[in-house]
Amino acid sequence: MQPRQPNQLLTVNPADLTEMPGDPLGEGGFGKVVGVEYKGADPELLEMRQRGALIVKSFKREPDEDVVINPFLHQLLIHDRPDLRGKFTAGVVREKEGKPVIIGNFVSYNGYQSSDLEKFIYGTMSSGSEARKKTAAFANAFDDTNVATSLVQLMASMKISQDALHEAGVFHLDTSPRNFLLRQAVVNDKGAVNVSAVINDFGLSRRIPPNGVIPFTPDLEKSRWPLRYMDTRAINRNGFSIATDYYALRISMMENVCHALNIRLDSILWIQKPDEGYMNTIMQRRGQTDEYALAKFTDNLMVQIENCNNPVLKLHLQLFVESFRDYLTSMPAQSDTYSPQQLQAIRQEDGLKFTRALDDFSRMMREEMVQSPQLFGDAQKLKARLPDGYTVHTELNKNQNPVPAPKPPAEKAQTHSSSADMLKRLGHAKVHLQQRQEPAPVSPEQRLKTEIQAMRDLLKVLKEIVDNKDYCRGISHDGKTPKALGKIRNLLGKEMIDYMPEAKLRAVLKDVHAEVDKKNANRTTPARDLYDDIKHDRVEKLIVVRDQITAREAAKSQPISARPAK
């Protein structure tokens, strides 16, 4: 069936949709999601109602045919590839009261409870969390002896879901645990519980162009891109490709492990020192390969696991990371363009690497169950939950040309006599940090290019701050714009920062530092803090200030009736 064009959009009668009582199921920057009951006669909606409860997503702003939030992307996914339905959360698009809405099936993990992976895993593993009581539906799938296996099952479903989206001709571009919804656990034919997730939220998604690369155009500057999950090519604004989604998927897999350890992702996202801040890490990554960054983050993750005080959880997560290390630190080869055949070959190769890692994990777990049964609880039930690489391989390649079934590499067929021997083989994670091959030396030209871009980024954020006169007056002691900020505003307003040559950038930055370095006993605390951040070039803190200003301005633009109650 051909996808409907915007001018062919069908209408849904608001009287046929009854909103469920209670709070919205979800609300983000692009729209709001509510549960509904449908009482009309639309055949597509009736078919969806038979598959489960319905939800309606309304948009906070008008969708643009060429923009990421285009709801007709959902229409394309539903009508062009009905064989992939169920592997992502796309719905049908209808017009309601003159505006497009998306109507889809509600994804729940326990009755009418819905959660993304970030909230569920982090909440479940938190000490004394109420979320632990909700895991009864998962038959203790997230206790210490099962959590690693559950994470692997979730990873397999995340990979399958993302791959199905690529097969449908779409890059997600916002892959992260918060954008995967947890599904209801199912019991397999062996009586073991399986958990899975499905990709959600296409707020930043784009159709894959014929050349396989989405250029970074000025209109994309308006979107808030998830820098933590972006590959080097995207960070350098050289375009989005399949590598963008693959890099984000690997970071998401590491983040799931972080949540299982009850720590946040930023605990491992550092290159040189743990407290450098993720924005500084982003700046460093501009001149590094994705493989090096992923290897560094994986080593950092192993350090965090090594520090875990729970020996059972520690062993299981070490087995998990070691078996997936090759996959987590590999990326597809970069290219200026990708033909459809190249993209298919990349998906097949990545699928093979993933399924080999699955088989490695299952093999290592079985070996350790024999040697250290006291660390594995009910071994029979756990064995029944271990993933099968061939099954996942078949699922990944169901809609592609057949490729040989994955086989574990011969050099990994060795066994381990005990958990102690396995840990000895892995070595302390700090050894990995010392032995990790350093990146190729950065050329002086590349280092200079990175430094210049960092100066541009700093001045652009600062310009957005000082251009807001209300904010500048608000941090002063007399309600007037501080003299230093006024002079900085003049300095940055004369020329376009993007086109300043290196010498001019350095001169302007020097003048900015000189202004904030002048002593002034009448400065308020907010002003002193801002000046200190400017003086020490703390980009990440300036971004926080800029975002707070933006949020306040957005709140002011809302009608009084729509503003949240104080």
Higher-confidence position of 453 and 555: 453
Q: What per-residue confidence (pLDDT) applies to 60? A: 60
Q: In three state form, how does the secondary structure of 350-365 look?
A: HHHHHHHHHHHHHHHH
Same domain membership, residue 47 and residue 123: no
pLDDT for res 240 = 92
162 lies in some domain: yes
Residue found under tokens 């941090």: 475
> How much is the pLDDT for 84?
65
Whether residue 110 lies inside any domain: the answer is: no
The domain boundary, picked from 85, 105, 125, lies at 105
Angle ∠(272,278,279) on CA atoms, nearest 5:
105
What was the pLDDT predicted at 430?
39
Closest CA to 437 of 323, 520, 329, 337: 329
Report if residue 566 sits inside a domain.
no
Least confident segment among 237-251, 310-324, 404-418: 404-418
In this structure, are residues 355 and 380 in contact, taking their beta carbons and an 8 Å threshold? no
Running DSSP on this structure, what letter comes out for residue 172?
-
Stretch 456-467: mean pLDDT, rounded?
83
Position 77 confidence tier, pLDDT thresholds 50, 70, 90:
low
Residue 111 is assigned to a structural domain of this protein: no
Domain boundary residue, one of 105, 125, 153? 105
Tell me if 112 is assigned to some domain.
no
The average confidence (pLDDT) of the chain is 76
User: DSSP assignment, residue 59?
Assistant: E
Residue 24 lies in a domain: yes
Q: What is the mean pLDDT of residues 520-546?
A: 73
Q: Are residues 143 and 207 in the same domain?
A: yes
Same domain, 326 and 474: no
Q: Is residue 565 part of a domain?
A: no
User: Do 104 and 91 form a contact (C-beta atoms < 8 A)?
Assistant: yes
| Claim to verify: residue 155 and residue 68 sit in the same structural domain | no
Pick from 238, 255, 240: nearest CA to 179: 255
Q: Say if residue 97 is in the same domain as residue 169.
A: no
Q: What pLDDT, on the 0 to 100 scale, is given for residue 376?
A: 76
Residue 134 carries which DSSP code?
A: G
Which of 89, 286, 51 has the alpha carbon at shortest distance from 182?
A: 89
| 247 lies in the same domain as 309 | yes
Q: What is the pLDDT of residues 106-148, one digit of tens each?
A: 777 665 566 788 888 876 665 444 444 455 555 567 777 788 8
278 inside domain: yes
| 405 has a pLDDT exceeding 50 | no
Q: Whole-model pTM above 0.85?
A: no
175 and 251 together in one domain: yes
Return the C-alpha torsion angle 297, 251, 233, 354, nearest 10.
100
The model's pLDDT over 105-117, given as tens digits with 9 standing for 90+, comes to: 777 766 556 678 8
> Which range among 31-35, 198-202, 297-301, 379-383 has the greatest average pLDDT?
297-301
CATH number of the domain to which 374 belongs: 1.10.510.10
- In a shared domain, residues 88 and 142: no
Q: State whether 291 and 157 are in the same domain.
A: yes
Strands 54-59 and 26-27: unpaired
Residue after which a domain boundary falls, among 435, 454, 473? 435
Over range 238-251, report the average pLDDT: 94
Over the stretch 318-354, which tens digit does the pLDDT of each residue have? Answer: 999 999 999 999 999 888 899 999 999 999 999 989 9
Domain co-membership, 150 together with 222: yes
Mean pLDDT of 212-226: 77
Q: Are residues 465 and 431 in the same domain?
A: no
Tell me: do 409 and 454 sit in the same domain: no
Overall number of domains in the chain: 3
Residue 89's domain comprises 6-105
Q: What pLDDT sits at residue 247?
A: 96
Q: In a 10 Å sphere around its CB, with 0-12 CB exposed, 13-18 middle and 19+ buried, how is residue 227 labelled?
A: middle
CA separation for the pair 338, 365 (Å, rounded): 38
